[in-house]
């Protein structure tokens, strides 16, 4: 049971900040290890995966939509007994004493360990017109907004995996797609890159940067600069999707004394522990390779380290673990359902 | 009724139905009036009718469903000329213009429950909302593939439920009603428009998921004409 003390803060063993793959994986583990786990997510569970058009490199799934994969992560964590607080935003951390205090816009939590899995957000271009036309042609989510541009002319800015996968999602919808990148090649997997280069309605604009976004009621054109000859020119577009990289969501942690590198990524050791004992970080917020599999792996390491910290290790019995709150009934039902589905599909499988 | 059997399988699996029946059994308290407005040439009207009938069946009589054609009266009042439009609550305080499919599904279910048990969690604001001197409409424009959108819609719906009908929350599905989305040149979702009295007459408040206090502050302001 969660205890509410006289100051009305909620006590728990572990608080996880962020409901992306790192946070959900960590939650599955801490919960199964017997730690009471509260996961706080400010927008929607699933994190960036929920808005990824498709995933082709997560082992075990040759191809799965981001929406489906995140649904599976969420269901799994829920079945294992993770308590979700959504939508709720962590606004302040107090980490210096043994009991960690996590303040949100709705509540205050006290925990023995905190796992920061707050991920990363899209970088803004920071050019004139970007703010003005946000939601009027400027977008940061192809899965959410792509269909508004059916049959239209659209640009994607960026050259990494995110930009290329968003571009691939859009090629099927739009009439013409420009991909604008400041270098002369993509920094994306060749498996993605080649498909984009082969798409008939795509034009690459290499060595090019966006200087202004212009329009009237909506975006009409981009003012670009060709870095090779330093010439400015314009292209007419109906929309622009921006995917030029990430900034870590680490400000709240840094304000509470968690060490970050010069780009703001949280610094961790091999156990995913930060400079503060009992405080762990995992996933995109720690930088490095920013992929689902890595986020999941780091989430698991953080969970195991948090478990050792809270309990003192397997045999220390520093803390009496409460009963694991896994809804085994539901778990069994789900297993049976999956088995039936599997049987059905086996039955259907004819060569 | 003839359509029910055609779709029943595709709309909800047996597992989904069980989940919903349990949820309704545990959480529904007061009856929930739901009106479905349909029209000819409506791609999703039959599907919505089937879905709502199934939900009503799972609700042990708590969901009181009526299905009507959109007549001139509704057209004039709601400023739409086709279905599906779903109106929930005693005062039609929650409206879905277009189908609550895809990502919107869970928030739609939650809205039915909150309409019934009134656990909107906005007690601190209830007095102020009920005292509004003009009717304010929150129009949230969404797409079925946007995972953030249902959070915005649910916040708006909770406000509408707490206001006892002074605030109407309308979730507009952009692909089924492009003419409404086009009115504000919507190209990203969720886009939230605040209108006073007359549907679809107001201005964009924000393109994102607002916090409940931000949205309530904005409603109180537009109601007094600020
Ligand atoms: C379009 C796109 C395509 C991609 N394709 C692939 C792919 O094919 N394969 C692959 O492996 N990876 C892919 N990725 C990358 C992958 O999605 C990320 O590496 C992964 O989601 C990181 O997980 P995370 O849990 O660290 O962070 P995130 O997924 O960013 O989740 C962090 C969560 O924390 C929440 N949060 C932040 N601050 C707070 C706060 N103060 N309070 C509460 N909650 C907070 C956020 O709302 C968010 O939901 C893709 C990403 C995008 C955007």
What does chain B look like in DSSP terms, one character per residue? -HHHHHHHHHH--HHHHHHHHHHHHHH--S-EEEEEEE-SS-TTHHHHHHHHHHHHHHTTT-EEEEEEE--HHHHHHHS--SS-EEEESTT--EEEES---GGGHHHHHHHHHHHHH---S-HHHHHHHHT-SS-EEEEEEE-TT-SSHHHHHHHHHHHHHHTTTSEEEEEEETTT-HHHHHHTT--SS-EEEEEESSTT-SEEEEES---HHHHHHHHHHHHTT-
Overall average pLDDT of the B73-91 stretch:
96
| Candidate list A13, A107, A112, A145, residue with the active-site label | A145
What does B34-96 look like in DSSP terms, one character per residue? EEEEE-SS-TTHHHHHHHHHHHHHHTTT-EEEEEEE--HHHHHHHS--SS-EEEESTT--EEE
- Asked whether residue B37 carries a pLDDT value surpassing 90, the answer given is yes
A61 CA from centroid of ligand 1 (Å):
18
Q: Which chain A residues are within 8 Å of B181, Cβ to Cβ?
A: 148
Res. A315 pLDDT band, cuts 50 70 90: confident
Res. A239 pLDDT band, cuts 50 70 90: very high
- The 10s digit of each residue's pLDDT in A12-58 is 999 999 999 999 999 999 999 999 999 999 999 999 999 899 899 99
Q: Which residue of B has its CA nearest to A143?
A: B145
- The 10s digit of each residue's pLDDT in A76-89 is 999 999 999 998 99
Which residue has its alpha carbon closest to ligand 1 atom 1?
A52
Q: What is the pLDDT of residue A339?
A: 65
Overall average pLDDT of the B194-206 stretch:
95
ipTM of this complex: 0.72
- The 10s digit of each residue's pLDDT in A277-293 is 999 999 999 999 999 99
Intrachain domains A11-121+246-342 and A138-242 with the same fold: yes
Chain-centroid distance, C-alpha B68: 17
Res. A6 pLDDT band, cuts 50 70 90: very low
- The 10s digit of each residue's pLDDT in A103-118 is 999 899 999 999 999 9
Residue B23 contacts A, CB cutoff 8 Å: no
Overall average pLDDT of the B121-139 stretch:
95
* Cis check: omega of the bond before A236, within 30 degrees of 0: no
Task: Please report, for the domain that includes residue B195, its CATH number.
Answer: 3.40.30.80
- Asked whether residue B76 carries a pLDDT value surpassing 90, the answer given is yes
- Whole-number average pLDDT of chain B: 92
Q: How far apart are CA A27 and CA B77, in angstroms?
A: 48
- Asked whether residue B101 carries a pLDDT value surpassing 80, the answer given is yes
Q: What is the pLDDT of residue A347?
A: 47
Q: What is the pLDDT of residue A341?
A: 59
User: For a pocket test of ligand 1, which of A60, A66, A119, A161 has the largest count of ligand atoms closer than 8 A to its C-beta?
Assistant: A119
Q: What is the pLDDT of residue A131?
A: 93
Residue B185 contacts A, CB cutoff 8 Å: yes
Q: How far apart are CA B136 and CA B201, in angstroms?
A: 11
CATH superfamily label, A11-121+246-342: FAD/NAD(P)-binding domain (3.50.50.60)
Contact A282, A119 (CB under 8 A): no
Residue A86 contacts B, CB cutoff 8 Å: yes
Q: Which chain A residues are within 8 Å of B149, Cβ to Cβ?
A: 144
Q: How far apart are CA B65 and CA B74, in angstroms?
A: 17
| Candidate list A13, A107, A112, A141, residue with the active-site label | A141
Q: Which of B15, B103, B175 sits opposite A147 (nearest CB)?
A: B175
Contact B188 A145 (CB under 8 A): yes
* CA proximity to A157, closest of A248, A231, A245: A245
Ligand 1: which residues within 6 Å by Cβ? A 17-23, 40-43, 47-49, 51-52, 55, 57-58, 89-90, 117-120, 161-162, 165-166, 249, 252, 283-285, 290-293, 295
Overall average pLDDT of the A54-71 stretch:
92
Residue A120, strand partner residues: A248
| Contacts of residue B123, Cβ cutoff 8 Å, sequence gap at least 6 | B162
- Whole-number average pLDDT of chain A: 91
Q: What is the pLDDT of residue A120?
A: 96
Query: In this structure, what are the phi and psi dihedrals at residue A173, rounded to the nearest 5 degrees?
Result: -105, -40
State the pTM of this model.
0.83
Overall average pLDDT of the B29-33 stretch:
97
Q: What is the pLDDT of residue B226?
A: 76
- Taking the CB of residue A30, how many other CB atoms lie within 10 A of it? 29
- Angle, CA of A162, A74 and A123, to the nearest 5°: 25
Contact A105 B204 (CB under 8 A): no
Nearest CA-CA distance, residue B192 and chain A, Å: 11
DSSP-based three-state secondary structure for A274: coil
Q: How far apart are CA A213 and CA A163, in angstroms?
A: 18
Res. A229 pLDDT band, cuts 50 70 90: very high
CATH superfamily label, A138-242: FAD/NAD(P)-binding domain (3.50.50.60)
Overall average pLDDT of the B152-165 stretch:
96
User: What does the longest C-alpha to C-alpha distance in chain B come to?
Assistant: 51
The domain ranges of chain A are 11-121+246-342, 138-242
Total domains in the fold of chain B: 1
Domain that holds residue B174: 3-223
């Amino acid at each position: 049971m969660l205890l509410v003390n006289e100051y009305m803060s909620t006590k728990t063993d572990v608080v996880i900040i962020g409901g992306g793959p790192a946070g959900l994986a960590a939650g599955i583990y801490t919960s199964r290890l017997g730690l009471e786990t509260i996961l706080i997510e400010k927008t929607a569970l699933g994190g960036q995966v929920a808005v990824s058009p498709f995933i082709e490199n997560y082992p075990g799934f040759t191809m799965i939509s981001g929406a489906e994969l995140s649904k599976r992560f969420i269901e799994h964590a829920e079945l294992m007994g993770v308590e979700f607080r959504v939508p709720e935003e962590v606004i302040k951390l107090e980490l210096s004493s043994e009991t960690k205090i996590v303040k949100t816009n709705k509540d205050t939590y006290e925990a023995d360990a905190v796992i920061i899995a707050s991920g990363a957000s899209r970088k803004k271009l920071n050019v004139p017109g970007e703010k003005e036309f946000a939601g009027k042609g400027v977008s940061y989510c192809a899965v959410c907004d792509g269909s508004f541009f059916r049959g239209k002319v659209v640009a994607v800015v960026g050259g990494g995996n995110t930009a290329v996968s968003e571009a691939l999602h859009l090629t099927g919808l739009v009439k013409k797609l420009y991909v604008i990148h400041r270098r002369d090649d993509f920094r994306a997997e060749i498996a993605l890159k080649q498909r984009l280069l082969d798409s008939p309605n795509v034009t690459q604009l290499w060595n090019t940067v966006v200087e202004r976004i212009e329009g009237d009621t909506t975006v009409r054109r981009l003012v670009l600069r060709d870095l090779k000859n330093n010439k400015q020119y314009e292209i007419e577009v109906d929309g622009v999707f921006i995917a030029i990289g990430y900034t870590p969501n680490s400000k709240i942690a840094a304000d509470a004394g968690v060490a970050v590198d010069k780009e703001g990524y949280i610094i961790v050791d091999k156990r995913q522990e930060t400079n503060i004992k009992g405080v762990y970080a995992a996933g995109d917020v720690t930088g490095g390779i920013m992929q689902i599999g890595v986020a999941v792996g780091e989430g698991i390491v953080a969970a195991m380290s948090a478990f050792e910290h809270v309990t003192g290790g397997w045999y220390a019995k520093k803390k009496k673990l409460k009963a694991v709150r896994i809804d085994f009934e539901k778990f069994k039902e789900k297993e049976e359902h999956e088995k039936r589905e599997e049987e059905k599909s086996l039955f259907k499988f004819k060569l | 009724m003839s359509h029910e059997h055609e779709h029943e399988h595709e709309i909800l699996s047996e597992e989904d139905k069980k989940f919903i029946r349990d949820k309704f059994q545990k959480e529904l308290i007061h009856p929930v009036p739901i009106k479905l407005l349909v029209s000819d040439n409506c791609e999703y009207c039959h599907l919505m009718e089937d879905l709502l009938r199934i939900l009503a069946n799972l609700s042990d009589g708590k969901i009181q469903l009526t299905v009507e054609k959109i007549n001139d009266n509704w057209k004039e009042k709601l400023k739409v000329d086709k279905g599906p439009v779903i109106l929930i609550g005693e005062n039609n305080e929650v409206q879905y213009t277009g189908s609550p499919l895809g990502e919107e599904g869970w928030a739609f279910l939650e809205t039915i429950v909150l309409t019934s048990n009134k656990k909107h969690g906005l007690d601190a604001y209830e007095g102020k909302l009920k005292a509004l001197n003009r009717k304010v409409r929150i129009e949230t424009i969404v797409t079925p593939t946007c995972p953030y959108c249902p959070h915005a819609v649910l916040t708006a719906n909770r406000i509408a439920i707490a206001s006892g009908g002074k605030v109407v929350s309308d979730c507009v599905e952009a692909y089924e009603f492009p003419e409404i989305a086009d009115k504000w040149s919507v190209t990203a979702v969720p886009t939230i428009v605040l209108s006073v009295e007359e549907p679809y007459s107001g201005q964009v408040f924000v393109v994102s998921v607002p916090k409940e206090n931000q949205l309530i502050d904005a409603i109180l302001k537009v109601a007094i004409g600020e």
